[in-house]
Amino acid sequence: MVKPIPHFRPSLALCAALALAGCATAIAPIEVTRFHIGNPATTGAVAVREMANNPDVGLEFRTYASAVGRELQRVGFTQSSDDGAEYVAYVSFRRAFRSPIDEGKRKPVSVGVGGAVGSGGYSGLGVGIGIDLSGPPKGMVTTELAVQMRRRADGVAIWEGRATTSAREGSPAAQPGLAAAKLASALLGGYPGESGRTITVK
């Protein structure tokens, strides 16, 4: 008698690991630029504050501010909410949506010779009438995180940097929570970094 093959049921831990792996691979490259003079401080109490004229405020800003605070602690600072902190890290972020370029030039139906299946979501039918099955194009979401560190005593900026990434609308990389953590990690990882150089972090 042939025994039935038991049904495979992946564990919750495995599912979670696969989900995290999927999120990790979905993150787009991040462009990072940093500036500083000499050897800026790497220890001391720092308070995280909103940068003046920050275009986006509210609950989403707190997500980015918290991510910056965590990364500052990783590189040696002590996060403090007290006004007597030695340094202040001013944080700003913005998210911009860019619609598909030349969207009006897309042709939902094309006529050609033959009935082959082509690239770009076109399915050949009969005598070469191709119907675009890819759906409406997705726009791009660009997220930028900027941080400036200043000495509280004299207000002099000792370090500043900017990290930018773009992701397809609706993708995991375009979600604020994931973008905040990745941008802060890329920006402050290897602090203080090489001044005046733009690098790509994947």
Cβ atoms of residues 89 and 147 within 8 Å? yes
Would residue 11 count as lying in a domain? no
Q: For 52-61, what is each residue's pLDDT tens digit? A: 877 666 778 8
CATH number for position 76: 3.30.160.670
Rounded to whole angstroms, the Cα distance separating 159 from 140 reads: 30
Would residue 9 count as lying in a domain? no
Would residue 46 count as lying in a domain? yes
Q: Which domain holds residue 46?
A: 30-99+139-195
Would residue 76 count as lying in a domain? yes
Cis upstream peptide for 4 (omega within 30°): no
Domain count, the chain: 1
Would residue 146 count as lying in a domain? yes
Would residue 6 count as lying in a domain? no
* Structural element, H or E, at residue 154: none
Give residue 19's pLDDT.
Answer: 41
Give residue 5's pLDDT.
Answer: 37
Would residue 23 count as lying in a domain? no
* Structural element, H or E, at residue 99: none
Rounded to whole angstroms, the Cα distance separating 159 from 193 reads: 10
4-17 as b/e: b if 16+ CB within 10 A: eeeeeeeeeeeeee
- State the pTM of this model: 0.69
Give residue 27's pLDDT.
Answer: 61
Rounded to whole angstroms, the Cα distance separating 67 from 180 reads: 6
Give residue 83's pLDDT.
Answer: 81
Give residue 98's pLDDT.
Answer: 79
**pLDDT beneath 50: ranges in the chain:** 1-25, 102-133
Q: For 39-49, what is each residue's pLDDT tens digit? A: 899 999 999 99
Would residue 16 count as lying in a domain? no
Widest pairwise Cα distance in the chain: 85
